[in-house]
Structure 1
Amino acid sequence: MGQPTKTIHVHRHQQHLKWSRDIPPVLTIESGETVTFDALDGSNGMITKESTADAIMEFDVEKADPGFGPIYINGAEPGDVLKVDILDLQLGDWAWTAIVPGFGLLADDFPEAKLKIWHIDPTLPYVKFKEGVHIRKAPFLGIMGVAPGVKGEFSTIPPLETGGNMDCRYLTAGSSLYLPIRTRGALFSCGDGHTAQGDGEVCGTAIETTLTASLRLTVCKNQPWVTAPQFQTPPLKQALSASDINSDKGEYATMGIDSDLLEATRKATRSMIEWLTCTKNLTREEAYMLTSVAGCLKMVEVVDMPNYGIVMTMPLSIFVTPGQPNGVAH
């Protein structure tokens, strides 16, 4: 009879709200071992499936975006690189998206709190935004990082050169993340589960959910080119099922032109919201949320000074014919 498989697990209560090299590790592992994390969503339990918009007004940002860990990896030294192989990501059964007053790309345009609760059906490849709008599941962890190399405490909300709250939608199962190690043991943590998100997360939230994540953590030597997060994604056919690939119907894009990159980004986003409200029967608040969970910002022109060109794209495959269970695009 063989030896039982070793189980390495981080629980929901094993969390921290700051990045610091002085936080004691919750576990110590060997390089190359796999750890499973049971991670709460970015609200840290402050939002529940029964919540209303009142929960947004009572939201304590100091308790948001917890990291689960940290994990000490034997043999990890400053100057090394931690390779994080994302092996598996299992979603919870519900999620949320919110407009938070004073937060987000268009905070001045949307001053009122709004909260959307999503149902996640494990038998379906998508979640339903509303009748006729389906968003394909593409789960990822918004937070993956190691401890900074300098003394002090740092918020978990902005990303750092050592990772953290990167909110990078490409870090799905099958991808590998590379992080520069700045302190002995690396002290890796993760969290902030997402069901799906667009590039930019413009309203400030994605489709936020709990996640159970299985990650393999490996120390790599002699990789001096990794001075900030880098990653590798799997081949397209591995990342998406054949049905997902065949459902592609192209994109609609809106462009913002301005001498200021941030203002060009706002213009592109506002134009997409206008298109969605005029052509897809969405309220302005619904359109803003949809740009955050499905719209993707791209820099299409940055050399013809003094103006920059930023576009927001929206996949047309998310718009389906009502009554078609598999989602047939218009």
Structure 2
Amino acid sequence: MHANALQSPPSVIHIQSDPESVFWGVLPSQNDPPLAVVDSASTISIDTLSHEGVLEDQGGDPIAFFGAQGVPPEQVLDDAVDLVSQLTHPKGVGPHIVNRRIDVAGARAGDYLKIDVLRLLPRVPYGIISNRHGKGVLTDTFPREHGTISIFAKQILHEGRMWGVIDKAGPDAIARYRERNGDRGKYRLSSPPEEGGSLSFPLHPFLGIMGVTPATDEHLNTVPPGDFGGNIDINLLVEGSSLYLPIQVDGAGFYTGDPHFAQGNGEVSLTALEASLRADLRLTVIPRRNFVERYGALRGPLVETPEYLVTTGRALTLDEALRNCVSEAVLALTHMHGMDDTHAYALASACVDFNISEAVDIVKGVHACIPKTCFDMPRP
């Protein structure tokens, strides 16, 4: 499937996921030259590419792998085929495919980059949910059969809304691929599919990775998130949301990847429903003084949706990630609404939901949903 099958407005800068434009498994570094430089408030359109279906444990052949799931060759993205034929996936790094850095003119370290999520469009009508050996939450139980389980899901449109459809039981995608390639039965799940044995769930596309380039010469692993953003996996970052990231290096060096059709909080099996998206995003530099005057001196990523202000916390343990997230929420409440910290802490306990963003990416993440309705009512 050609990358330009979807059309973007002519004024929008279009970034493809061809082998020359991406990193596989690592993030950009501060010494990398930019792939592009855009003005503040510019809109970019990025053809993100999912890693599921191109990885080594899935055969490294997206046409054969997805073909075993009934996907015709013309529905397999050209950039997925080009990636595996032209790039080598380094050992010991993450699985994700991210674009090389996109700099924003005038961005300075210490400022904030605002990313407005304008539009997210599926590039393909299918995706994969995977669980790999030793990864996920229930590592002592799953996967049951072999090193990786990959569940294939179709995307359908029903009554104007996108849904995902998966089988209730039966062979996984790797079993189908291996059986088709002569390894019959060796990797088959034990329970057979039943007639009409499928279920559907609503889709809410978002980007698991959005970040600014870290202040290091090293190309960091894509898996753990940080104050620079990266793999934060917050499923509220759908169309109409905004993400604020503290800029680490001049130019900001924006990148994105890890596209999802859907994800539950926690992403417990290791991956969400991974599927390639075209993302239209607006990148705007916010001077540090302006950001701090409005939100306070927050340490890490901040999300804003029509309903919520969302602070974040990260750490190697969920307990510490929660502590960090609560501290950020209290700071935002005290700064934005003139509360002392004791009353802000009480309000957080009364009306703020603290959710596990993800529990499987080395660094754990928690995000706080502060409802804007708390501050919309007239004061007595």
TM-score, normalising length: structure 2: 0.57
Q: Distance in 1 between matches of 2:200 and 2:43?
A: 33
Say whether 1:234 aligns with 2:333: no
**Aligned partner letter, 1:135:** F
Q: Distance in 1 between matches of 2:235 and 2:35?
A: 27
Say whether 1:41 aligns with 2:76: no
Partner of 1:100: 132
Alignment equivalent of 1:127, drawn from 153, 164, 168 = 164
Alignment equivalent of 1:161, drawn from 227, 232, 254 = 227
1:44 CA drift (Å): 7.3
1:83-107 per-residue CA deviation (whole Å, 9 max, x = no partner) reads 0000000112110011211111111
Alignment equivalent of 2:22, drawn from 8, 15, 20 = 15
Q: How does 1:277-292 map to 2 (within 5 A)?
A: none
Partner of 1:149: 215
1:120-174 per-residue CA deviation (whole Å, 9 max, x = no partner) reads 1245521113346321010000100001123322111111110001111110010
The 8 Å contact of residues 44 and 65 in structure 1, kept in 2 or not, is answered as: no
Partner of 1:288: none
Q: How does 1:31-110 map to 2 (within 5 A)?
A: 31-43=40-52, 45-46=54-55, 48=62, 49-50=66-67, 62=93, 64-91=95-122, 92-110=124-142
Q: Distance in 2 between matches of 1:105 and 1:297?
A: 19
Q: Distance in 1 between matches of 2:318 and 2:35?
A: 42
Q: Distance in 1 between matches of 2:318 and 2:224?
A: 19
Segments of 5+ residues of structure 1 without an aligned counterpart are 53-57, 237-259, 263-295, 300-330
1:6 CA drift (Å): 2.3
Q: Distance in 2 between matches of 1:190 and 1:51?
A: 29
Q: Distance in 1 between matches of 2:54 and 2:154?
A: 17
Segments of 5+ residues of structure 2 without an aligned counterpart are 1-8, 70-88, 168-196, 309-316, 320-352, 357-380
1:120 aligned counterpart, secondary structure: strand
Cα 1:261–1:8 change in 2 (3 A) is closer
Q: Distance in 1 between matches of 2:198 and 2:95?
A: 32
The 8 Å contact of residues 208 and 257 in structure 2, kept in 1 or not, is answered as: yes
Partner of 1:268: none
Cα 1:44–1:23 change in 2 (3 A) is farther
Q: Distance in 2 between matches of 1:182 and 1:297?
A: 27
Moved more, 24-33 or 115-124: 115-124
Cα 1:23–1:122 change in 2 (3 A) is farther
**Aligned partner letter, 1:125:** M
2:93 aligned counterpart, secondary structure: helix
Q: Distance in 1 between matches of 2:218 and 2:90?
A: 25
**Aligned partner letter, 1:18:** V
**Aligned partner letter, 1:191:** G
Partner of 1:28: 37
Cα 1:59–1:114 change in 2 (3 A) is farther
What RMSD, in angstroms, separates the aligned Cα atoms of the two structures? 2.7
Q: Distance in 2 between matches of 1:59 and 1:135?
A: 35
1:41-77 per-residue CA deviation (whole Å, 9 max, x = no partner) reads 133733542368xxxxx99663611211310100000
Q: Distance in 2 between matches of 1:42 and 1:229?
A: 24
Say whether 1:114 aligns with 2:149: yes
Indicate the percent of aligned positions where both proteins have the same amino acid.
33
Cα 1:44–1:161 change in 2 (3 A) is farther
Q: Distance in 2 between matches of 1:33 and 1:11?
A: 17
1:121 aligned counterpart, secondary structure: strand
1:261 CA drift (Å): 6.0
Work out the number of aligned pairs and report it. 235
The 8 Å contact of residues 235 and 263 in structure 2, kept in 1 or not, is answered as: yes
- The structure carrying a bigger helix percent of its residues is 2
**Aligned partner letter, 1:23:** D
Q: Distance in 1 between matches of 2:233 and 2:115?
A: 15
Q: Distance in 2 between matches of 1:43 and 1:185?
A: 31
